[in-house]
Amino acid sequence: MLNNFIKDYQDNYILEFEDGFWGDFKKVCKKLLEPKNHPSNELKDKLSLISILEHEPISVAVVGQFSSGKSTFLNTLLGKDILATGITPVTAKTTTIKYSPFDLIKIKHFDGREEILAVNELEAYTDQRGDMKDVKDITIYLSNEALKNFTIIDTPGLNSRSDDDTNETINIFDKIGAVLWVSLIDNAARASEIKDATKLPKYLKNNSLSLLSQKDRISDEECKKVLKYSKEIFKEYFLDVIAISSKLESKGLEDSGFNEVREFLNALEGKKENLVRDKFNIILSDLIKEREFYVKLYIKLEDILREMVTKISLKFEHNLELYANEFQKIYNWINETSSSISKIFETCVEGVDAHYFKEGKKRILSSNLNYIKVDYKSPRFNKDFALSKLLYNDDKLATAFRVFRSKLNDFEKEILDDMQSSYKELEREILLFKGRHESMIKKKDIYSSIENEIASKVASEVYELFLKNYENAFFKTSQEIKLFFEKIDIKISTNYQNSVKLSANLIEDKVLKSIEDYESDPLTFPLFYPKFDDFKNEMLKNLNYYEFEGDFIGDRTFIKKTLNSLNEKILEILESNLNYIDILKTKHQDIKYDLKAINF
């Protein structure tokens, strides 16, 4: 089994090539068709068409607008009335004329049928009045020695009323190596012809002639003027412009122009290698452009991710300053509100007349204890009155905390909206990339279908490949922020009444304890008259002011740690994304490098 595998590999990938031009051609073709390049079937077909030239003569397309005299020209060139003249452009078919020891016609139908006919039966197929819809193509085999040096492809024409005929003519350009462009001399170089001439591949210029037919219809002087004008107009498209006349050729006159045409055709064999090089290098150039396209595509995706993540990071940095100010305001508000409550508490502290009895000296000869009444000013914190002013008979404090809670909710929403906005910007750019590229169509048929599918698949799966991780990171952070604000709400906003009551109770307990201790030992224990700071300290503790201090202010606030953590996670995801894209991009860069190294 291993031996079979090795043999298959050697047969397919370790090939030996003959010395010389065609061996070199096969070597460079092998490089284009390496499996790592995922070559398309169209590329393989195109290279096969070129390789046919090793054993076949160059194909010459005879092109021209309808009624330009193509058929008459060909009949004269071949010395036989093979092609029908004067037909309409409704059902004409591409006709190939090539050498064979025997004269015959082969008709291929779209259903796969083939017919072999005598040459004199062609008119029924090329006459536009016949039904040619089921005919795919026609090949005429002639025992004409000249056809050993070239093959003729007679095209339907470029200004046919049928778009299919025009498209068929254009598609033939890939299969040919030379062009004979036939025009009526009195219609030469008109705007419509110039427009059609632009469709000719530029690499065929040196293998293309413009033929002005029916020169016998005008004077020699007029012919010279038309030639001069046409050569100037057509210099970008044709090697030369020649005036011809089938009538003069049939009379055996040398100035018919046909000798020049024959010289051109007979010289094509010597141009074959240059033609092969030109065609190959055009394909090579296109394949390099294909790889450049994919490299640019993946760079574009990298740039989108980099730019958006950078934008998000800068936005976080900018927003952190705003958020820090807001949290400072929250922190200050808790402090100020605690002060306001403490001031009211302080007004509810007073001194009242009080007394207690202490044990006096024992009387002589008496067994009864002697008690002395001690009068003093006792501190009293009127808790009920304070709570009545703060909670029960006045809604100012309730209103203040309702406003605080509303602002807190707005602030939370602002942070979450900012985060959502950041993610949505990233999502929008990535989905735009997806929309532009998930249904890509190859720009050229020779481009790799597999690479096109891979790139389209990457574009179509951007959510799973890229967005999902960012979305999860933003979602997780959003949940952390929601929990944090919920904690603030529970411990401050909705707990303020308990905080006020607890502070009042604690101060009251301290006052009562101080009275109890004072009455037990006034010299050791002082009376506790609560001051503003005593109340405020309790309020700050019970409103969790000190607990939230590190979260609200300083260098390691909750929001700073949270957004920095999110930013680090985003950068980590970005690095992973870029590594993935770089693998895709590098593959095309390497192939592009290999293609550029090919010299043929």
Q: In the structure, what pLDDT confidence band is assigned to residue 18 with cuts at 50, 70 and 90?
A: confident
SS3 240: strand
pLDDT at 129: 40
* Mean per-residue pLDDT of the chain: 91
Q: What is the DSSP letter of 244?
A: -
As a whole-number percent, the residues of the chain with pLDDT over 90 amount to 76
Q: In the structure, what pLDDT confidence band is assigned to residue 5 with cuts at 50, 70 and 90?
A: low
pLDDT at 194: 86
Spatial distance between the Cα atoms of 486 and 464, rounded to a whole number of angstroms: 32
Q: Domain boundaries in the chain?
A: 2-45, 56-266, 290-350+391-596
**Own/partner pairs for 415-423, CB < 8 Å, 24+ apart?**
415/319, 415/323, 415/481, 415/559, 416/478, 416/481, 416/482, 418/315, 418/319, 419/474, 419/477, 419/478, 419/481, 419/566, 420/474, 420/478, 422/311, 422/312, 422/315, 422/316, 422/474, 423/470, 423/471, 423/474
Tell me phi and psi for residue 214, to 5 degrees: 60, 45
Please state which of the ranges 190-199, 286-295, 496-505, 578-587 shows the lowest mean pLDDT.
190-199
In this model, does residue 7 exceed pLDDT 70?
Answer: no
Over residues 166-205, the pLDDT tens digits come to: 667 777 888 899 999 999 998 887 888 888 888 888 889 9
pLDDT at 68: 77
Over residues 97-117, the pLDDT tens digits come to: 999 999 999 999 888 898 898
The two counts, helices (H) then strands (E), for the chain are 20, 11
Over residues 537-577, the pLDDT tens digits come to: 999 999 999 999 999 999 999 999 999 999 999 999 999 99
C-alpha closest to that of 32 among 587, 583, 597, 584? 597
Please state which of the ranges 10-19, 68-77, 210-219, 591-600 shows the lowest mean pLDDT.
10-19
Q: In the structure, what pLDDT confidence band is assigned to residue 67 with cuts at 50, 70 and 90?
A: confident
The total of other beta-carbon atoms located within 10 Å of residue 313's CB is 19
C-alpha closest to that of 181 among 207, 203, 162, 202? 207
In this model, does residue 90 exceed pLDDT 50?
Answer: no
- DSSP assignment string, 16-72: ---SSHHHHHHHHHHHHT-GGG---HHHHHHHHHHHGGGTSPEEEEEE-STTSSHHH
Cβ proximity of 270 and 58 under 8 Å: no
Spatial distance between the Cα atoms of 376 and 374, rounded to a whole number of angstroms: 7
In this model, does residue 430 exceed pLDDT 90?
Answer: yes
Question: Which token pair is 449?
Answer: 């279908």
**Bridge partner list, 593:** none
Spatial distance between the Cα atoms of 334 and 553, rounded to a whole number of angstroms: 13
Over residues 24-43, the pLDDT tens digits come to: 999 999 999 999 999 999 99
pLDDT at 125: 60
Architecture per CATH, 56-266: 3-Layer(aba) Sandwich (3.40)
pLDDT at 317: 95
Question: Which token pair is 323?
Answer: 């958020």
Q: What is the mean pLDDT of residues 349-367?
A: 81
C-alpha closest to that of 448 among 151, 39, 114? 39
Spatial distance between the Cα atoms of 63 and 70, rounded to a whole number of angstroms: 7
Please state which of the ranges 126-140, 295-309, 314-328, 506-520 shows the lowest mean pLDDT.
126-140
pLDDT at 91: 43
In this model, does residue 159 exceed pLDDT 80?
Answer: no
Q: What is the DSSP letter of 555?
A: S
Over residues 260-292, the pLDDT tens digits come to: 999 999 999 999 999 999 999 999 999 999 999
Of 112 and 361, the one with more pLDDT? 112
Spatial distance between the Cα atoms of 146 and 412, rounded to a whole number of angstroms: 89
Question: Which token pair is 374?
Answer: 């001690």
Spatial distance between the Cα atoms of 349 and 339, rounded to a whole number of angstroms: 16
38 dihedral zone (left: phi>0; alpha: psi -120 to 50; beta): left
C-alpha closest to that of 397 among 490, 493, 326? 493
Spatial distance between the Cα atoms of 591 and 125, rounded to a whole number of angstroms: 48
Q: What is the mean pLDDT of residues 293-298?
A: 98
**Own/partner pairs for 474-481, CB < 8 Å, 24+ apart?**
474/419, 474/420, 474/422, 474/423, 474/566, 477/419, 477/562, 477/563, 477/565, 477/566, 478/416, 478/419, 478/420, 480/562, 481/412, 481/415, 481/416, 481/419, 481/559, 481/562
SS3 359: strand
